[in-house]
Amino acid sequence: MRTKKELIDTLADRTQQPKKVTEAFIDALSDSLREALAKGDEVVLPGVGKFTVKARPERTGRNPQTGAAIKIAARKAPSFSALKQLKDAVEGK
């Protein structure tokens, strides 16, 4: 599955729900995930993984064109950690 439409089609077939209901669920899940991470909360999807927010400290980088040192500001970034079940499924265990 590479697109939202493919995900909706697959989930609708597996759950035998109308595609509109499935699309609304995916949209609600995305919104909830975004809102939780914006507040700094952790979100766990059972059997899949954990979404968290990581603080990235300020650091010094290089401008690739000039080679000059530049300051890269501190920021927060979303992070995903796959659970063991998902890792094992990918490895074929």
* Domain boundary assignment for the chain: 1-40, 42-93
DSSP string of 11-61?
HHHHHT--HHHHHHHHHHHHHHHHHHHHTT--EEETTTEEEEEEEEPPEEE
Position 13 scores a pLDDT of 96
Look at phi and psi of residue 67 and say left if phi exceeds 0, alpha if psi is from -120 to 50, else beta. Answer: left
Smallest Cα–Cα separation from 57: which of 79, 33, 77, 40?
Answer: 77
Find the length of the chain: 93
Domain covering 42-93 assigned CATH 3.40.50.150 in the classification = no
Would you say residue 1 has pLDDT above 80? no
pLDDT, average across residues 61-81: 95
pLDDT, average across residues 14-26: 96
The percentage of residues in the chain with a pLDDT greater than 90, rounded to a whole number, is 95
